[in-house]
Amino acid sequence: METKGVMEKPILQVKEITKTFPGVKALTDVSIDFYPGEVHALLGENGAGKSTLIKIISGVYIPTKGTLIFEQKERAYKNPGEALNLGISVIHQELSIANELSVAENIFIGREPGKGKQRFLLDRRKMERDAQKALSLMGVNFKATDIAGDLSAAQQQMIEIAKVITRNSKLVIMDEPTSSLSDSEIEALFKQIEMLKKNNVAIIYITHRLKELKVVADRITVLRDGIVVKKSLYEDITESEIVASMVGRKISDYYNKQQHIRKEEMLRVEGLTVKGVFEDVSFAAYKGEILGVAGLVGAGRTEVMETIFADKKKASGKVFIKGKEIELKNSREAIANKIGFATEDRRRTGLMLEASVKNNIVLPSLRRKAMKKAFVNPKWEKKVCDEYFGKLDIKTPGRETIIKNLSGGNQQKVILAKWLVAESEILILDEPTRGIDVNAKSEFYNLMNEFVDAGGCIIMVSSELPEILGVADRVIVMREGHLSGELNRAEMSELNIMQLASIQSEAESNTPRQADGASNLQSSKLRGI
Amino acid sequence: MGKAKEWSEKNAVVIVLIVLIIFFGIANSTFLTPANIINITAQMSINAMLTIGITFVIITGGIDISVGSVAAFAGIFSAYIGLKFPKAPLIGILGIQLGSAIFIGTICGAFIGIAIAKFKVVPMIATLAMMTSARGLAYVVTDGQPVYGLPNKFAWLGAGRLITTEKMKNGVIPIITIFLVIILILMHILLSRTIFGRHVYAVGSNEKVSHLSGINVDAVKIKVHILCSIMAALGGVCVTSKLNNGQPAACDTYEMYAIAATVLGGTSLLGGIGSVLRAMFGCAIIAIINNGMNLMQISSYWQKVIMGMIILVAVIIDMAQKKEKK
């Protein structure tokens, strides 16, 4: 920590940056200084604006307002290439590795050394030599000539770091670098970070795991709703202060929790199994309740929902709807049986992004509302859209607006409208509030409560524990493809859910996680803070 | 002003069309005569039929490069059936022509559709296979020779005209143009007003979402390919009728003109966006360039070169307008 750069000039100054998207203000007057030789942790909940900020720093977005000062000079770069040339590199959570190419080819991708007068021919020898030099410096256990796709995630990440080294980058952004690494791999990564620091590289470090900060962070900045709420040297702040500034509001006000009364059974599954994915899952959901489904990412929750919706074929097990066993052959039959499914990836599997709001809303209901069995009923389309724009307070310029132009919150409401128009009584919501801003979340919870009060049934898969605690009447927890438990409202707590979600895997756990009362820390992975 | 600008951005193709009309109108005195304009509508009709079918396929996010070969095969088939019934009345001949198109189109389209939907063959490859096979079949059944000796009534659909005047003894309105207009109206209604049409757009917009919304995506793809092949086969039958003989080499590279017209008409190759009516502007542009260059006596070799360049430029203009709007 001897390089704590109070004396040094910042390598990058972000000054009063504001970024607006249609309908959303993602960042407001954000000013942060980043110093060479320091790890600067950028913290905040999902939707706080972290990713928008790093996209601005790395040249993906152009800020609406404000300036970037890199090495004491104002810069207005227009694309990631220009940022890269200045010396700003990003290591994304999803690594950008070309699996079929060798390690050396990956490291030098886009800037391969040439030979001959015109530098037309590839100088493979030089490329592999330089790559190997960087790899040896890092002390890794693979060679420049290995094929990248054969390496582990951790080794692939080392390739990304080798890229940074060979580029002589001055600022490196690491977006959740430890999310797919084991303990020993994380240690190795931290060693590399230490080495980068010694070489006076500035590092912007994004993580959801507050525990790691103790090891790596020199300085922290907390963002909330697009505003900087806390800046500090790490040694001057406690973890609980960090958590408090990240959450920043009383959870009870936010979720508007209502106690629902459990009525008759709507959906029951018994012994549901998809080989190799999940096994023997049995649970029931009732009219008038919100059933939470908790668990770590990869526990099989989404797959169970896909199977209930008949998008995935089950190997064995039974599905009962309103007490009657039904063999659903495909999603069309699921919809006919009044099940609606809002998937976790809104942009990829939830919406026709280039289509109008109207076409998105009416799609599953077209056939049911057809005129003379074959024709679309335009009067009904208009009526039903206007009706739901009002009911759900969907903010859109019009029915024909292309849906990708709406904010995330409004898009999610459109998906809700789509299933309400389809007369769903059982709504499966997979991560319903992912990536939408706080106010929209709160509104969405109210709509969920309304739906349930009117006699609907919601099954909500969520990785955000506060959300489960705030909204669900009951929670079932999954762990590694099995149902590990069920908790009623009185038993629900972050600690109890976390224990059900992860306790067995603790021994082989990849993450530095504690089993004691530090539930805030534990839940950080679940919540995806 | 603002509105005019917005309109011109949305309708760059219409402007290109108008510019071409003005250009050829000035360059050649016969271009804008009523007789020539009617000629153009007849000349564009066959490409238009192929284009309508391809538009459906491209809206689902697919592609079909077999339409030229399917057209040729269906044309040959209709000629053989026509030879068998030399004394058939006009209505019978029409029945033979439409029946051949629907028969051959359904078979070819079902093959393509099933290969794509059920066996997950990439559309380009599935239709490439059909392109060579259908062309091959056309040569196999004819042994490479044209099919002559068709009854005169056989030419009514492709070359006949209604309403004779003193100036135009052969008739004013081409039957094929009327035929096209009927097909166009039907296909426009099918695409824009029916549930099936909506599903075509939905599949092209996002297959997964369509599937999760209860749409049988495979069925939509198969139906769309059958429709496209039938449209191609109709085009091929019209070519045979127009020439009054069956040519195994007919309709060569027609798929390229049909794809070009579709794209010129604003249909997105990524799927989800497009219209058969707008595709007709694309057909008109291609027909006008052909006709205009013929009148100017430009060599047919150069015509190909110029055609290619104009298509490229028109699409670039269109893309640039769309990009600006973002």
**pLDDT one-digit tens code per residue, A328-359:** 999 999 999 999 999 998 888 999 999 999 99
Q: How far is B208 from chain A (nearest CA, A)?
A: 6
| CA torsion through residues B24, B29, B34, B35, sign | negative
Provide the Cα torsion B188, B194, B200, B206; round to 10°: 130
Tell me how far apart the alpha carbons of residues B62 and B120 are, in angstroms, rounded to a whole number. 12
Which has the higher per-residue pLDDT, B45 or A9? B45
B326 located within any domain: no
pLDDT of residue A285: 95
Which range of residues forms the domain containing residue B158? 8-320
B1 located within any domain: no
Tokens (6 digits) for B181: 């207009």
The DSSP letter of residue A474 is E
pLDDT of residue A249: 56
Interchain pair A359, B198: CB under 8 A: yes
**pLDDT one-digit tens code per residue, B234-244:** 999 999 999 99
Give me the mean pLDDT over the A234-247 stretch: 82
Residue B194: its chain A contacts at CB < 8 A?
374-376
Under DSSP, is residue A202 helix (H, G, I), strand (E, B) or coil?
A: strand
pLDDT of residue A519: 40
**pLDDT one-digit tens code per residue, A95-127:** 888 999 999 999 999 888 888 888 888 899 999
pLDDT of residue B59: 96
B129 located within any domain: yes
Q: How far is B196 from chain A (nearest CA, A)?
A: 7
Centre a 10 Å sphere on the Cβ of residue A375 and count the other Cβ atoms it contains: 16
Q: Which CATH class is domain A253-338+425-527?
A: alpha beta
Q: What is the domain-level CATH number for residue B13?
A: 1.10.3470
**pLDDT one-digit tens code per residue, A279-316:** 999 999 999 999 999 987 778 999 999 999 999 899 99
Please choose, from the candidates B286, B251, B263, the residue with its C-alpha nearest in 3D space to the C-alpha of residue B57. B263
**pLDDT one-digit tens code per residue, A162-180:** 998 899 999 999 988 887 7
Provide the Cα torsion B159, B160, B161, B163; round to 10°: 170
pLDDT of residue A503: 60
Pick the CATH number of A12-249 from 3.40.640.10, 2.40.30.40, 3.40.50.300, 2.60.40.2250: 3.40.50.300
Residue B209: its chain A contacts at CB < 8 A?
349-352, 363
Residue A336: its chain B contacts at CB < 8 A?
214
Domain borders along chain A are 12-249, 253-338+425-527, 346-424
Is A402 an 8 Å CB contact of chain B? no
Partners of A122 in the β-ladder: A114
**pLDDT one-digit tens code per residue, B110-155:** 999 999 999 999 999 999 999 999 999 999 999 999 999 999 999 9
pLDDT of residue B268: 87
pLDDT of residue A186: 85
pLDDT of residue A239: 80
pLDDT of A61 above 80: yes
pLDDT of residue A154: 86
pLDDT of A260 above 80: no
Tell me how far apart the alpha carbons of residues A225 and A27 are, in angstroms, rounded to a whole number. 7
Residue with tokens 């470090």: A205
Residue A142 host element (H or E): none
Interchain pair B212, A330: CB under 8 A: no
**pLDDT one-digit tens code per residue, A482-507:** 999 999 988 898 888 888 887 654 44
**pLDDT one-digit tens code per residue, A137-158:** 888 889 999 999 999 888 898 9
pLDDT of residue A248: 67
| CA torsion through residues A391, A393, A397, A401, sign | negative
Tell me how far apart the alpha carbons of residues A430 and A301 are, in angstroms, rounded to a whole number. 9
Nearest beta carbon to residue A374 from set B194, B205, B216: B194
Residue A309: its chain B contacts at CB < 8 A?
212
**pLDDT one-digit tens code per residue, B82-98:** 999 999 999 999 999 99
B2 located within any domain: no
pLDDT of residue A46: 66
Residues 327-386 of A with CB under 8 A from B: 330-332, 334-336, 341, 343, 348-355, 359, 363-364, 366-367, 370, 374-376
pLDDT of A92 above 90: no
Interchain pair B205, A353: CB under 8 A: yes
pLDDT of A129 above 60: yes
**pLDDT one-digit tens code per residue, B74-86:** 999 999 999 999 9
Residue with tokens 């082989």: A508
Is B197 an 8 Å CB contact of chain A? yes
Nearest beta carbon to residue B206 from set A352, A374, A418: A352
Interchain pair B213, A363: CB under 8 A: yes
Residue A366: its chain B contacts at CB < 8 A?
195, 198-199
* Interface probe with B: pick from A329, A353, A363, most Cβ of B within 10 Å: A363
Counting the structural domains of chain B, the total is 1
Contact between B177 and A320 (Cβ < 8 Å): no
Is B221 an 8 Å CB contact of chain A? no
Is B199 an 8 Å CB contact of chain A? yes
Angle at A498 between CA A492 and CA A502, to 5 degrees: 145
B325 located within any domain: no
pLDDT of B2 above 80: no
Contact between B267 and B62 (Cβ < 8 Å): no
pLDDT of residue A7: 56
Residue B273: its chain A contacts at CB < 8 A?
354
pLDDT of residue A293: 96
Give me the mean pLDDT over the A63-78 stretch: 91
Give me the mean pLDDT over the A202-227 stretch: 89
**pLDDT one-digit tens code per residue, A407-431:** 888 999 999 999 999 999 999 999 9
Give me the mean pLDDT over the A66-83 stretch: 90
Residue B196: its chain A contacts at CB < 8 A?
374
Under DSSP, is residue A226 helix (H, G, I), strand (E, B) or coil?
A: coil
